[in-house]
Structures are given as C-alpha cells and as structure tokens.
Structure 1
Amino acid sequence: MCACLSVEYYRPFFDINTDEVVARIRYALVFCGTGSPFLDVVREKPDAYGPWWISTTLVFLIAVTSHLKTLMQFSGQHYRYDFKVVTFAAMTVYTYLGFAALAIWLALNYWLKTPLTILQCACVVGYSLSVYVPASILCVFSIISWPALLAAWVLSSLFAVKSILPIIEHHEKQMVAIFAGGLVSINCGLMLIIKLELYS
C-alpha cells in the first residue's frame, strides 16, 4: 500500500540510458519520416526521465532567454532580474505536462476505450515539448519570437497527434477529429502563455 514511498517503486520509470533518450528526442524532432510509430518505441519501456529533463531544460531556457531579451531591449539600464519568471515558467511547463498527459489518458481510456498508461501519455507530451527548446532560444530576438513559437506549436502538435493516431484511427472520424482538436488546442494554450506572459 505504501510502495510509492520507496525508491524501488520509481526505479522502472528512470530505467533508461542516454542513447535511448537522445533517440527519442531525435524521433520527436524529426518525426515526418517513415518508421515505427512513437508509441511502439516507448510502449515496452516508457520513461519519466526524458519528459522530466526536457521540461526542466525548457523552464531554464525560457527563464534565461526571456531575461536576455529584456536586457537587450533596455541595454542594461536600470534592469533587475525578476525571479517570478522562473517560478511562472516552471508552473506553466510542469502543469502543462501533467494536465495534458492526464487529459490524454482520460480521453483514451474512458472516452475512446483505448488502453494506454499515464506514463506512456506523459512520454508523448514530454517528448513533444522538445521542439520548444530550440524555439525558446530563438525567442531572444523579438522579430522571430512569434514565428519560432508558432512553428514549435505546429510541430509539437503534429508529433503528439501522429504518435497517438495509430491507436485511435479505427474510431469514427469525428471522434478522432475532436480528440486531435483538443490536443492541438491545449498545446496552443501553452504556446500563447509562453509568448504573452514570458516573452511579451
């Protein structure tokens, strides 16, 4: 009953090596080619390591690049570092990871009757965030922040939809379209919060 209080309980979630994580990130960044669906890659060995570190890296980069952008605009005059950006970025990214994974899991298991573990859903959401990492670096430059984040939103959404599509394509097209639309909308919300609240 209290197994979740031991380290051994969480060990399988982090039983993955660097090469496997890098391969999954590469798969998330270049997903348009032929090959096995992403869920086939992570089905036997879902991990929490990749999603956690991708999210943490994204929080760090958003905090740094948003301040660099502001520093460049003010040319260093009367500029103070705002630590609220770090906490807001962390709250936004980690909440998105947890909420989106939970929403996908609930929709798949209870609406579309397609069994998938919450860790597998977290893998899809977590690895889909990897495209936001290079986009956040580009957001230092105001002129390309909108295009960079819009491209990240589109690519992240396409990866997430393409990852889940093989297990739900046998359902009615309307149900699949609603599911995909919901997934894209949640991702759009993340992109807008990042842009309007952290890079405004």
Structure 2
Amino acid sequence: MSGNYSSLGSESVGGSVPFCPVIIFDILSCMSYPSFYCFSDSNLQTFPPSDNRGKVAGSFQPPRDADDTFSQPGQGGQGGGADTPQGWQSYFNVITYRPYFNVDTVDVLERIKDSLFPYKSDFVEKTSHNPDMYGPFWICSTLVFVTAALGNFAAYLAHKTSAGGGEAWHYDINKVTYAAIMFYGYVGVIPLGLYFLLKYLGVVSGLIQLWCLYGYSLFVFIPASFLSVVPWDIMRWVVVGVATLMSAAFLGLNIRSHIKTGSDRWFMIVMSAVALQLGLGLVIKLYFFTFFYHDTLKI
C-alpha cells in the first residue's frame, strides 16, 4: 500500500482503486439511519394533478353531425383509436358513444342549475363543446318513475280526502308505461324533427346538442311532481303551470339565441317548440295529477 491507494493483483484487474474511508462511513450510516442519510439528496420529478375530475380519457371519435359547430364531443373524444369501428358499423358500437357520457357530477349539477334559470339563455354556448346524454337519460328515467309513483300517491290522497274515501282505491300500473313512452319519446323524437327542419332551412345544428337541451329542460318537472302530491287541485295547477313556463322559457330562449341569425323563420320555430313544451306540461297535469271518478273502484 502506498499513501491512500492499495494495489490489486495485476492478474485480476489492471490499475489501482482509490480507498476512501468516507464511502465506508456513508454505507454504514445508510444501514443504520436510512431515512436521514440515504434519501436526503433525492431529486424526484413530481407531476401536477390531472384536471379530468374522473372523466373518461378515451381516444375514440363518436359519430359526428354534418355540422360540427353545434355538437362536439367532450374531452377524451379527440382522435380515432385503432379499435374504433369505421363507417356505418360505428353507430352500433357502445364505445362510439362514450364521449357523450364524458361528464362528472359537477358538470351535470351546473347544467341542471342553468336549466332552472331560463333567462340566461347561454346553455347552448356552455355545452357546445361537450354535449352529454348522461343527464338527459337520467332525467327522463327519473321522471318516468317519479310521475308514475307520485301520480298514484296523489290519486290515493285525493281519493281518501274525497266524499267517497271509504270506497276501495286501486293504483294504475299503466302510468309507468305511458310515462316511459311520453318522456323518452318526447326527448327522442321532437329534437330529431327539429334537427331535420333546421337542416332543411340551412341552419347549423347538432342532434346531440338538441337532445341535451331538451333533456335538461325537463328537470324542473321532477320537483314539481313532488309538490303536486298536495291534495289541492289549485295548488297542482299552479305548480305544474310554473314548471311548464320555466321549462318552455328555457327551451325557447336557447333555441332563439342559436337560430335567430341563421333563419328568417326563427320566430315560428321557437313558438312551435314552446307550444309543444306547454302541451307536454298540460299532459303531465291532466294525466298524472288530475283525478276523476274512474280513479275509484266500487266493490
């Protein structure tokens, strides 16, 4: 050994290796106090949290409308994946529609809140880049069971508080079927007809966006159904009437804000949409929350 160096056998390794006591000290320190000596100088790369908030981050392209300005997929709907069906087959694949359900609780609650304040008329602009079908589907599904169940319950209360309250009462199970046909049919067919009408008039429109708009316009009927259980017919008329006016105003103002500059016939289109919405509210009141003699069954 010469100085701080020790020679190794030339038959194994050529040259010399430095011998440093500090290295041995560091190794022994790591074995005894790893938390203080081993990782104190670590330089790990950190990544900022993602802002997807639980949204699907897929890479599939949904079927697009002829005009993309009114109906765009949300985040996660850009680009086409290798496994995405092409052509007409894409319309029969569930993955294709996944971007239209790319919303979280905050998004849905925000859109529901907007539907309760019709005077803003900015729902179309807020949802133009991410129209969803999640909210409309669950709003319609909730309305089916809420109106059917509460309609029967309201009929029961009306029967018990009437002069013939001692007679037998029967529920109407057909209200579930009729409610499903009415709400799903209305949200599915009316926007489809409006879409083709706007296409014929040369107005830029999107089918998914119209479905989204019509679906959220019906939310106000859910709390109205609960308030309509009160066994007082004037109260029911007021509740359903206010809900219908709010829904029709929300729908009409948003359609107007979108098509006013695109067609000279915008007034007729808006008035037709409002009239259909008022008709829907009238049907809800007369069928689910108006009770006649046939609601009682004599035995």
Fold-level similarity (TM above 0.5)? yes
Counterpart among 177, 194, 208 of residue 119 in structure 1: 208
Equivalent in the alignment of 1:169: 260
Contact 1:89 1:198 in 2 (8 A): no
User: In structure 1, how many angstroms separate the alpha carbons of the residues matched to 2:126 and 2:110?
Assistant: 10
Contact 1:114 1:167 in 2 (8 A): no
Aligned residues: 196
1:1-200 residue pairs with structure 2 within 5 A?
1-33=88-120, 37-75=122-160, 77-111=167-201, 113-141=202-230, 142-171=233-262, 175-200=265-290
Task: Between 140-149 and 90-99, report the one with greater CA deviation.
Answer: 140-149
Secondary structure of 2:220's counterpart equals helix
Contact 2:139 2:218 in 1 (8 A): yes
Q: CA deviation at 1:17?
A: 0.8
Secondary structure of 1:16's counterpart equals coil
Contact 1:146 1:195 in 2 (8 A): yes
Q: As a proportion of its length, which structure holds more helix?
A: 1
Residues 72-116 of structure 1: CA deviation (Å, up to 9, x unaligned): 1223852222210111111111111112211221222212x2222
User: In structure 2, how many angstroms separate the alpha carbons of the residues matched to 1:7 and 1:99?
Assistant: 21
Give, as a single letter, the amino acid of the residue that structure 1 aligns with 2:107.
Answer: E
Contact 1:51 1:123 in 2 (8 A): yes
**Distance change >3 Å, CA 31–CA 191, structure 1 → 2:** closer
Instruction: Give me the identity figure in percent.
Output: 32
Larger radius of gyration: 2
User: In structure 2, how many angstroms separate the alpha carbons of the residues matched to 1:56 and 1:82?
Assistant: 18
User: In structure 1, how many angstroms separate the alpha carbons of the residues matched to 2:156 and 2:250?
Assistant: 34
Secondary structure of 1:32's counterpart equals helix
With normalisation by structure 2, the TM-score equals 0.62
User: In structure 2, how many angstroms separate the alpha carbons of the residues matched to 1:158 and 1:102?
Assistant: 20
Task: Let me know the Cα RMSD of the aligned residues.
Answer: 1.7
User: In structure 2, how many angstroms separate the alpha carbons of the residues matched to 1:72 and 1:89?
Assistant: 20
Q: CA deviation at 1:50?
A: 0.6
User: Which aligned segments of 4 or more residues in structure 1 are displaced greater than 6 angstroms?
Assistant: none
Task: Between 99-108 and 176-185, report the one with greater CA deviation.
Answer: 99-108
Q: CA deviation at 1:171?
A: 4.9
Q: Where in structure 2 are there 5+ consecutive unaligned residues?
A: 1-87, 291-299
Give, as a single letter, the amino acid of the residue that structure 2 aligns with 1:181.
Answer: M
Give, as a single letter, the amino acid of the residue that structure 1 aligns with 2:119.
Answer: C
Secondary structure of 1:130's counterpart equals coil
Give, as a single letter, the amino acid of the residue that structure 2 aligns with 1:164.
Answer: I
